[in-house]
Structures are given as C-alpha cells and as structure tokens.
Structure 1
Amino acid sequence: MYFSDKVLIVEGKTDKRRIEEVLIEPVQIICTHGTMGVSKLDEILDQLNGSDIYILSDADKEGRKIRKWFKKHLSESTHIYIDPKFGEVGRCPRDYLANLLMRHEFYVDTGLIMKGKFGNDERRDKLPGYYQSYPV
C-alpha cells in the first residue's frame, strides 16, 4: 500500500530497483517494461488515481518513445531526465539519482547526496527532499 500521492513511471525492473535504493518515502513505481501502446497506457492510467506523475526513462530511443507517449496522452506529467552519459536509469550512480530525485522533491537518503553543490549542511536543511539518514 502506498501513502504517497506520487507515482514514478520507469521502463524496467532494474530501474525500479535502483530508484528504491535511494528513496526513503513510499512511492508507487510503475514499470512500462520498455514498451508503450494504447492498452499499456490504459493499464497505467487505471493505477494513477489523481496522483502526481513523474516519468523517468532511459536516455535512448525507447526512452524517448515512451516520453513521447506520455507527453501526448498525459501532458500533466513531470519528466525527469538523466544525463545521457549513463544511458539507463538502472546504471546511474546512486548519488546522482538521489540528487536528481531530490530536485523534484522526492525524499531521499542524504547519505547518498554528492558533495559540492549540495554538500553545504545549512543549504541541505532548507531544501525539500532531505532527510537525515540513520544507520540501521
């Protein structure tokens, strides 16, 4: 059961697993399994229930194709883009994904946040999406 009003749509199971490694909030993650079509879109739309929709697809031909579907049929969705040098969401470093998702107000494990631009503790405390990580 999900208590978040956010839905993150990704291409595959590897992408989903990688994202789950950095998120610390309950977010429904839906996999397209690399294909889009009318029936797949209808199936996804049935699961949305008025949630905020985020699209995070790979930086390849299939990823662009999936984005095109959502831009056409679900224009209110927010598109999150990865750096093309990583190619696939599942291959993105955890710290990179944490920073990327945090910029879109997802709550992430701050132990993964990259140093530098977001390394200032004062600034970190003021930005949404930050939670202090604690060892388990």
Structure 2
Amino acid sequence: MNIEDQRKVIIVEGTTDKRKIQTIIKEPVDIICTNGTVGTSKLDELAEMLDLREIYVLVDADEAGEKLRRLLKREFPQAEHLYIDRSYREVATAPSQHLASVLLGADISVFTDYLRTN
C-alpha cells in the first residue's frame, strides 16, 4: 500500500516508537519517524506529503519530545496531539495498554487485546 493511500498519519520520534505502535494499531496508518529532529527541508517535504491527511503527533513526554511537539504544532496546526502519561516519559517504554487507550481516544482502531487488564 502506498503512503498516500493511507488517510491517517502518526508522527513519532524514533523507530522503537514506531515498532511499538505498529503492534497495537489495527487499521492501516502510516507512521513517520522524525528521529528526534526535523530540519527545514524535512518539514517542507512532510508538509507536501501530508497535505489533506489526518495527522496525529505522539512524542515522548520529555524536553526533546516537547520541543519537537512545539515545532510540529507550528508546521501542522491541524494535527491532533496525543499525549502519554508523563510518568512513562517515552512512547517506546509506555505500557501497550496505555498506548492503546491513547490511540483509541483519537479514533484510531486498536487490537482489543491491548485494552484488557490482567
């Protein structure tokens, strides 16, 4: 499936975040990694590629993540920002159940197994 075929896009910081989220999400969603930093040329490329798409931002609850979030808010004011509990700090290490709840809250379909408590 081509990237333009998928309506929803989640922007994350790293590949470990991407891998974690991919296991939870049930619907086809494109997940883009910024690798922590985004230059002007990368932002321009993303803006063109993501035009008319539903954009979600899910970054770490730390200083670097908040800096990236502020940058993405300026570039993509229409994006929906998703937040993990600050106590988990990183998307990659947050419990899958917590991430599933955050994603479901944004109307992103998740595997129901991740919503169950043990």
Is the shorter-chain TM-score for this pair beyond 0.5, marking a shared fold?
Answer: yes
Residues 25-68 of structure 1: CA deviation (Å, up to 9, x unaligned) = 11011100000221121122232131010000001111011111
Extract unaligned runs of 5+ from structure 1.
Answer: 116-136
Larger Rg: 1
Runs of 4+ in structure 1 deviating by more than 4 angstroms, as ranges, are none
Q: Name 1:49's counterpart in structure 2.
A: 51
Match status 1:36 vs 2:34: no
In structure 2, the residue corresponding to 1:34 is in which secondary structure? Answer: coil
Q: Which residue identity lines up with residue 95 of structure 1 in the other structure?
A: Q
Equivalent residues in 2 for 1:86-101 (5 A)?
A: 86-101=88-103
Percent of residue pairs bearing the same amino acid type: 43
TM-score of the superposed pair, with normalisation by structure 2: 0.91
Q: Name 1:126's counterpart in structure 2.
A: none
Give the structure, 1 or 2, with the largest relative contact order (CA under 8 Å, sep 6 or more). Answer: 2
Partners of 1:72 and 1:46 lie apart in 2 by 15
Match status 1:65 vs 2:61: no
Partners of 1:112 and 1:17 lie apart in 2 by 15
Residues 62-105 of structure 1: CA deviation (Å, up to 9, x unaligned) = 10111111111211111001111111101111111111100100
In structure 2, the residue corresponding to 1:79 is in which secondary structure? Answer: strand
The aligned length equals 115
Structure 1 or 2: larger helix share? 2
Extract unaligned runs of 5+ from structure 2.
Answer: none
In structure 1, the residue corresponding to 2:10 is in which secondary structure? Answer: strand
TM-score of the superposed pair, with normalisation by structure 1: 0.80
Deviation at 1:112, TM superposition (A): 1.0
Q: Which moved more, 1:19-28 or 1:31-40?
A: 31-40
Q: Is 1:30–1:44's contact at 8 Å kept on the other side of the alignment? A: no
Q: Name 1:24's counterpart in structure 2.
A: 26
Partners of 1:29 and 1:45 lie apart in 2 by 15
